[in-house]
Amino acid sequence: GDSVTQMEGPVTLSEEAFLTINCTYTATGYPSLFWYVQYPGEGLQLLLKATKADDKGSNKGFEATYRKETTSFHLEKGSVQVSDSAVYFCALSVTGNQFYFGTGTSLTVIP
């Protein structure tokens, strides 16, 4: 079945450090891939998405490339800020408004 495996956290980084959160997926069809972010006490917000192989999604300095050959969609940011502290979820969707989420990676950025 469809599933997402995400790097376990928590991750703690110093401000301006480089961030990578690994995400791999298994899908029977041709999924679209997403990264969502959740701040404390909030719902999920879309961070970026990619709908086909080799697409790169980007937003607010975050990037992820849809790699079909490695079934991966790793999230990267060159220089994190304290305000990036949140929980990050990798997700896929094959059909409709049905998403499969990874377990989430908690990121804390310290000044």
Partner 1 sequence: KAGVTQTPRYLIKTRGQQVTLSCSPISGHRSVSWYQQTPGQGLQFLFEYFSETQRNKGNFPGRFSGRQFSNSRSEMNVSTLELGDSALYLCASSLGTGGYGTEAFFGQGTRLTVV
User: Does residue 100 interact with partner 1 by CB under 8 A?
Assistant: yes
Window 4-43: residues binding partner 1 (CB under 8 A): 30, 32, 34, 36, 41-43
What distance in Å separates the CA atoms of residue 111 and residue 92, rounded to the nearest whole number? 33
Q: How far apart are CB 106 and partner 1 at their closest, in Å?
A: 11
Residue 54 interacts with partner 1 (CB under 8 A)?
no
* CB contact at 8 A, 24 and 33: no
d(CA 17, CA 46): 23
DSSP 97: T
Taking CB under 8 A as the criterion, the residue among 64, 104, 105, 107 binding partner 1 is 104
Contact residue for partner 1 among 64, 102, 105, 109 (CB under 8 A) = 102
Amino acid at 45: Q
Contacting positions for partner 1 (CB under 8 A): 30, 32, 34, 36, 41-46, 49, 51, 89, 93, 95-104
